[in-house]
């Protein structure tokens, strides 16, 4: 997988407003929010798209969903949704798997 802006954020080479970090994931505020709360949740493992997730990666997908639940509760969100864009035609701009947590 080629270098992405998210790879640089993971390595702390670029700034981000990080709201969660653990051994598997990183979550930070989107710089172009589409909702009152807009957080990106990414695996630290470089996976280009959701279509590239393999069986060995399924624990990462589950973990990302648990992180989203935790963040939604911690932020007191009354409603929220998760969005994943897959491929350029699906609206994906950065080819490192990422989930958009959008909340109100």
Active site residues: 98
**How many whole angstroms from its chain centre is CA 88?**
17
**Long-range residue pairs from 58-62, CB within 8 A, at least 24 positions apart, any chain:** 60/24, 60/25
The DSSP secondary structure of 33-85, one letter per residue, reads: -SSSEEEEEEESS----GGG--GGGHHHHHHHHHHHHHHHHHTT-SSEEEE--
């Amino acid at each position: 997988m080629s270098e992405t802006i998210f790879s640089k954020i993971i390595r702390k080479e670029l700034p981000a407003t990080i709201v969660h970090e653990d051994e598997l994931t990183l979550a930070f505020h989107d710089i172009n929010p589409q909702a009152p709360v807009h957080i990106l949740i990414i695996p630290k493992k470089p996976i280009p798209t959701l279509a590239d997730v393999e069986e060995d990666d399924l624990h990462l997908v589950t973990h990302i969903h648990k992180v989203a639940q935790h963040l939604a509760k911690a932020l007191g969100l009354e409603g929220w949704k998760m969005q994943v864009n897959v491929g350029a035609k699906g609206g994906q701009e950065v080819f490192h798997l990422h989930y958009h947590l959008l909340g109100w």
